[in-house]
Amino acid sequence: MKRLWTIIGVKDVAASFRWYQTLLGQTPSQPAHDYFGQILDNHGTVLLCLHAWGAHEHPSLASAEVAKPGNGLLLFFRVDDFEAALQRARSLGTEFEEEPHVNPNTTTHEFSLRDPDGYYVTISSLD
């Protein structure tokens, strides 16, 4: 088994951690560090890593001023609880980029919004 750990640069790891846990319906918890946190599913699989801009001198995570957050990146999550995810997304108070619709390419329901750092996030139904 191979897994991809997507890591994004964020301004506030704890705030982004809560946002993604709410959106994805995960049990509330705290990130391991103030500079890094992993969003895990109920089986311990890493869904997304959040890394503070500028921590540890990673060249591609230097700062939001050097590279605009989300440029060239689409966070696309497939969920088995689409309607519940939609309600959680609405509870975040974030304006949707795309309201719920059926994607003609995948024929699945999806919606899109931006996270607190401006990353474009799409939620798509698994069925």
3-class DSSP state of 104 = coil
Specify if 109 maps to a domain: yes
Specify if 30 maps to a domain: yes
Encoded amino acid at 127, one letter: D
Specify if 80 maps to a domain: yes
More confident of the two residues 65 and 26: 26
Write down how long the chain is: 127
Specify if 39 maps to a domain: yes
What digits encode the pLDDT tens for the residues 57-81? 776 777 777 777 677 688 999 999 9
pLDDT higher than 90, residue 6: yes
Specify if 22 maps to a domain: yes
**What DSSP string runs through 74-97?**
EEEEEES-HHHHHHHHHHTTPPEE
Supply the CATH number for residue 121's domain. Answer: 3.10.180.10
Domain count, the chain: 1
Specify if 81 maps to a domain: yes
Specify if 114 maps to a domain: yes
Structural domain span for residue 117: 7-125
